[in-house]
Structure 1
Amino acid sequence: MTSGRPKPPAVVITGIGMVTPAGPDTDTAWKTTCAGQPAGAIDPRLAGVPVDFSCPVTAFDADELFGVEGRRMDPFTQYALAAAREAYADAQLAGADVDPSRVGVLLGTGVAGLGTWQEQGERMHTRGARAVSPLTIPKAIGNIAAATVSMEFGLHGPSLSMATACATGTSALGLALDQLRAGRCDMVLAGGTEAAISPLVSIAFDRLKALSRRSDAPALASRPFDERRDGFVLGEGAAVLVLERAAHARARGRSAYAKVLGYGESSDSYHLTAPRPDGQGAQLALQKALDDAQVHPSDVTLVNAHATSTPQGDAIEARVIERLFGHNTAVTSTKGVTGHMLGAAGAVEAAFTALSIKQGVIPPTANFQAPGADIPEIDIVHGAPRHTPVSVAVSNSFGFGGHNAVIVLGSAGT
């Protein structure tokens, strides 16, 4: 579908870095997700609380990666920096002829350094004011992951952080797209990061009746769209993607995973935690993204759904997908493997979507066996990865407060 307006400058993804429950790097995470191996497990950090399991990041050694400097970082910054290093290397930026004043960093987070606040609060109450670390503020504030990445690589473009709850990672990619189209940057490192697995967070989400209670089988607990879904599973980690204008990538001889075709966002303006029952806010964001990309719903090969494994949210999203795309567009949710990574989820899922386009593989929706009675007849990929060309894909993200964000990606050859 085309419109009367000129197309904006093309933007591509040239680097990907991830730290996820599916693996501490992109290659491992992709293989685990394509294999449909769920990461849910009993979590010692949650011992003694009603929901004592999560999808944790494992095989991540901050001391080995960062040395003593790692002690100055909350885990949400550690995850972000590790993912950024991988993305930076993947895009072959080390030693590249790039103007650092034209490279931005846009990294969002949902709750930032919650663990640091908790730890220091306990110190204050048990040991007094002098026990509180002078690094508390610079470890915990939400912008510090973006700032740390900028300092790591000596970048002088815009360094920004945003928070749109569980839509944060996708919001960061949308803002990066705007920066590149407007000519304010040549490149942007964009994504999301989260390290919010703690007794307080688990209890708080459980009090909202948002979490799965399947402690007897945590690996089977995150089951998007499935008839036995009963809530999401807490995840953690980060993803950073290198976005750059296509002409800039060509000039430095870099190939791309995918094009960033468009972005759309909207607000439900409905409820603190619940999505609009009619899904109109989510549908508006999807339609805006498709219009921005100048593609028709029939052009879309894949929907990487937000689907978190909650009864209400999955059903509403499935109905929106059916209304816009019908019954034949492939649908997957990688949260069956990773759980819900909150502010990092959208960036991780956009990375998986770009890999689907590049490799022609759609990961299965882990733990999905049969759709709930409230799930319409849509083509949910499950059981095994589907090997098929993916020309245009959308990745959905929806957050508490009614934040809706959608990114549209396409083949680098389109």
Structure 2
Amino acid sequence: MSARSVAVTGLGLVTAAGIGAEATWRGVCEARPTARRDPTLQGLPVDISYTVPEFNAAKLVGRRSNLVHDRFVQLAVVAAREAVADSGLDPRTWDGARVGVVVGCGLGGVSTWEQQHRILLDEGPGSVSALLIPLLVPNMVAGHLAMEFGARGPNFVTATACASGATAIGVATQLLHDDQCDVVIAGGSEAGVSPLIVTGFARMGALSRRLDEPATASRPFDADRDGFVIGEGSGVLVLEREADARARGARVRARVAGYGASADAHHMTAPDPSGAGALQALRTALASAGVSPGDVDHVNAHGTSTPLNDAAESKVLHQLLGARATVTSAKGAVGHSLGAAGAIEAALTVLTLENQTVPPTANLENLDPAVELDVVAKSPRAQRIDVAVSNSFGFGGQNAVLVLTSA
């Protein structure tokens, strides 16, 4: 255990596979996709999505929640409550000034924005909610978690598109390394399943058009993939210095051992086909963790199910790691939750390390011949895993890579 070792002591998940870490892990391991034709998207060119099943904000967050929270905040509150309870820490007794919150979010309260804009057009400015701004601005997810847990330390949101959740976890480890915090609640949350956002992605050709078979439309690394399926969700980790966690007798679920970030500086939406930026982030993360490419046992890939992303990512992984490490993508089971994806996948990587089991890539039937990787499909695979990588990439050429190790 090094002085810079960061422990994951708590974990919470809310995804299309289920509410709670156990339900999500079970759904991902069963490779059970839940995408469906979404009635809220009816009439759009693409109307399929992954949404959290049976999410009752009044019951899970509080009866006034729908008045004061957008859905992206509600998802985060539920995930964070699970993570903090799992950590064994008591917010009533901790030193809140030493507790930080860093949450990734790419969009903010888009549903509130759309709803209130319709009210403005239909009923006039006098009917627009006085809480419009605090409902929609992205930083409120971190602000509400601070209020929920009395966390008075550094508090902010990272916005690096679909890498946002991973960026948040990487930045949180740096706060611990710099001794600005003793505990950081870190993760991501997004609720971007809205008509305007889905239309925007559809117009740019990023979404799957497999409308006649929505459950199998998201198929990372498959030869027949044609785009991603949008989802929603939240993943939250509680991070502490490992020495502090061990001293209080906490269960250390895994370690965040390394973090690397870079920019492609190439294109607004397309990844650099050479993979140079992603490769740089991966090398930086491995170096910061003090491990070599040959030490990596497993990769939780970004794996969006888009032709360009999967091709570029697989090229980078093969170039640096070869075919030794097993690879999986969760997006066949839970969809692409945008700014939350990196945090959800980091949490799933923690569970992979704990269970020494790699979940399968849902809907992968015919591996693209150009993907020269050992991509796990069909059923979970038991494996010795000491070092795992979680990749996250986003529009604007944003790259964030986490290295996690077993406890």
Aligned to 1:45: 40
Aligned twin of 1:358: 354
Aligned residues: 406
C-alpha distance in 2 between matches for 1:405 and 1:68:
36
Shift, 1:251, TM fit:
1.9
Alpha-carbon deviations, 1:202-226, whole Å to 9, x = none? 1110111000001100000000000
Q: Residue in 2 aligned with 1:307?
A: 303
* Aligned amino acid, residue 335 of structure 1: K
**Residue 141 of structure 1 pairs with residue 143 of structure 2:** no
2:402 aligned with 1:407, yes or no? yes
Q: CA deviation at 1:95?
A: 5.9
Compute the displacement of 1:7 (Å): 5.5
Aligned residue in 2 for 1:197:
193
2:106 aligned residue (102, 105, 110): 110
Structure 2 stretches lacking a partner, 5+ long: none
Provide the rounded CA distance (Å) in 2 between the counterparts of 1:392 and 1:362: 13
User: Match for 2:344 among 335, 345, 348?
Assistant: 348
Q: What CA distance in whole angstroms lies between the structure 1 residues aligned with 2:365 and 2:294?
A: 27
Hey, what does 1:162 align to over in structure 2? 158
Q: TM-score, normalised by structure 2?
A: 0.98
Residue 336 of structure 1 aligns to a residue in which SS?
helix
Alignment match, 2:184: 188
1:24 to 19, 43, 56: 19
Q: Which residue of 1 aligns with 2:335?
A: 339
> Which residue of 10, 13, 24 corresponds with 1:15?
10
1:374-393 map, 5 Å: 374-375=370-371, 377-393=372-388
Deviation at 1:96, TM superposition (A): 7.0
> In structure 1, how many angstroms separate the alpha carbons of the residues matched to 2:189 and 2:67?
18
Q: Which runs of 4+ in 1 moved over 4 A?
A: none
SS in 1 for 2:211: coil
Q: What does 1:114-133 align with in structure 2 at a 5 Å threshold?
A: 114-133=110-129
Give the corresponding residue for 1:239. 235
Query: 2:390 aligns to what?
Result: 395
Q: Shift of the alpha carbon at 1:42?
A: 1.1
Identity of aligned residues (%): 50
What amino acid sits opposite 1:98 in the alignment? W
SS at match of 1:343: helix
- CA gap of 1:70–1:249, structure 2 versus 1, over 3 A, is farther
Q: Distance in 1 between matches of 2:137 and 2:256?
A: 30
Contact 2:104 2:166 in 1 (8 A): no
Distance 2:5 2:318 in 1: 29
Any idea what the Cα deviations from partners look like across 1:17-74, whole Å, max 9, x if unmatched?
A: 1110111111100000011101211111111101111111112110112111342100
**Counterpart check, 1:85 vs 2:63:** no
- RMSD across aligned positions (CA): 1.2
1:222 aligned to which of 218, 221, 224: 218
The answer as to 2:280 corresponding to 1:284 is: yes
**In 1, Cα distance between equivalents of 2:130 and 2:88:** 37
Q: Which amino acid aligns with 1:169?
A: G
Structure 1 length as normaliser, TM-score?
0.96
Written as runs of structure 1 = structure 2, the 5 A alignment for 1:244-259 is 244-259=240-255
- Residue type of the alignment partner of 1:204: G
Distance in 2, Cα, partners of 1:95 & 1:199: 38
Q: Any conservation in 1 of the 2:57–2:65 contact (CA below 8 Å)? A: no
Structure 2 residue aligned with 1:272: 268
SS at match of 1:146: helix
1:144 partner amino acid: M
Query: Is the partner of 2:221 in helix, strand or coil?
Result: coil
Distance 1:70 1:147 in 2: 17
Q: Which secondary structure does the structure 1 equivalent of 2:63 belong to?
A: helix
Return the alpha-carbon distance in structure 1 between the equivalents of residues 259 and 203 of structure 2. Answer: 33
Distance 1:68 1:378 in 2: 48
Deviation per residue, 1:317-344 (Å, 9 max, x gap)? 0010100111121000011101101000
CA distance in 2, matches of 1:149, 1:185: 16
- Tell whether the 8 Å contact from 2:3 to 2:243 is kept in structure 1 after alignment: no
One-letter code aligned to 2:189: T
Between the aligned partners of 2:328 and 2:361, the Cα distance in structure 1 is: 5
The residue type paired with residue 82 of structure 1 is V
1: CA distance between counterparts of 2:89 and 2:2?
A: 28
Q: Which consecutive residues of structure 1, in runs of 5 or more, have no partner in the other structure?
A: 1-5
- For the residue of structure 1 that corresponds to 2:18, the secondary structure is coil
Question: What's the secondary structure of 1:151's corresponding residue?
Answer: helix
Query: C-alpha separation between the residues in 2 aligned to 1:270 and 1:366?
Result: 31
Aligned match of 1:3: none
Aligned equivalents of 1:373, 1:364: Cα separation in 2: 18
Which of 58, 61, 86 in structure 2 is aligned with 1:63?
Answer: 58
How far apart are residue 94 of structure 1 and its match? 2.5
Amino acid corresponding to residue 17 of structure 1 in structure 2: G
Q: Secondary structure at the match of 1:263?
A: strand
Aligned position for 1:296: 292
